[in-house]
Structure 1
Amino acid sequence: MNLKAIIVEDEQASRDILKKYLDKYCPQVSVMGEASNINEGLELIRNHELDLVFLDVEMPYGNAFDLLEKVGDRTFETIFVTAYNHYAMEALNAHASYYLMKPVSIDELIKAVDYVVDIKEKENTLQDQVLVPKQPGVIGKITIPQQDGFEVLETSDILFCKADDNYTEIHLKNHKKKVVSKTLKYFDETLEASNFVRVHKSYLVNVNEIVKYLKGKGGSVVLSNGQEIMVSASKKSGLLSYFQ
């Protein structure tokens, strides 16, 4: 699969090195243009149908996050390339597919590009299709603690779970919400065999309740009740693997 890409990086030497590595080790990437600041990057993004943007964080006239905010909805994936590791959490929150540290490791660059290729191939396969999970929902129950004992829930009645610090909100089909004093990680592990998938650091969803996948906004799913939930780039490949 061919990926149309641009490089947004203020240092010419860094752009040259990255382009050289891509030409030699990632032939599936076609670099459509280069930009040295966010204004030039925004113009390239608006003038091209892109699959991938390589993005430095600190640049003239703003940073990478300013650029992504100006872009708004997007269908391309983003690979951050930076000398600063303290931006990793912000990059994750900006739905980056990968975070590469300078000097760029060739092995890590190949892994990053392969990950984006995997996402794009799965998205293209599922485009305009009715989403049907490969596995049927698993019939089962879970117990949630209460002050006077515990309550039993059918796993099939759960739409999604949302993290709230050390608590978890369990949203049900009957429009009710249960707040439990356990972390989302606990429910991620408990419901692992029941077709629940972590789509974001804050969300765990019932795969059988997903009715639509949207490539805009960096990727999101729509549930049977109309709820739209963002999908982290790092979670996309795993999510899309559930569908045929």
Structure 2
Amino acid sequence: MKSIIVEDKEYIRKGLISLISSIDADIEIIGECESVQEALIVAKTCKPELVFLDINLSDGTAFDFLEKIDVIDFKIIFITAYEEYALKALKIGAVDYLLKPVDVEELKMALEKVAKLTAADQKNQIVKAKQVFNNEGNHLILSFQDSYQVINLDELIYCESDKGYTTFYCSDGNKYLVSKTLKDFEERLLEANFQRPHQSFMINMKFVDKYDKSGTIYLKNGTKIPVSSRKKESFLSSLFNWNKK
């Protein structure tokens, strides 16, 4: 299988080549690249069947490369130094990846896995992975010690922050506690029509049932959310604008 390695650190490229040669895999390295721009030229010229693709490159990301290339007619194994970053971007799409430093057994498994994928299957998986990577689509990924939880934002009722932790309450009755502050999720949630009526809460506007002028929000699941005095004006503006949609 003709392959190229897109990785901005030479010692990692050389190490990967050494590992590939040691496992007697049917892999021929026909090119090495260290940037998005270089990878575009080499991929178009050499027409590889497999690309080992680092997520973070000197002039962009792996997904910049995938967006700019005309046709993805090759298989891909991503490379990254950050496990959470890799899983967040890739696991949802079931695209395989290698964690730096690359382990020979993981390399073997990745090659076996990618060999079973058709080009069409992988293309669909890359689209899903890109959406997660860019926080596109209507979902949020929560990171736990031994797993990652995908939250559908249409089903997320509200979030509550307390002493550096945030709890996510979903319409199916499930709740998830993560060791991050609400601030870490605020930008993403605001994009999804959530509002922060109080320092400790963010709410999904679609689940608002009633607002009591004394300063309390009633959600459709019966939860009462306080509105701080300094947030009252902005919340009411959001509420009335939401009502117009």
Structure-1-length-normalised TM-score: 0.46
> Which structure has the greater CA radius of gyration?
2
Structure with the greater relative contact order (CA < 8 A, sep ≥ 6): 1 or 2? 1
Structure-2-length-normalised TM-score: 0.46
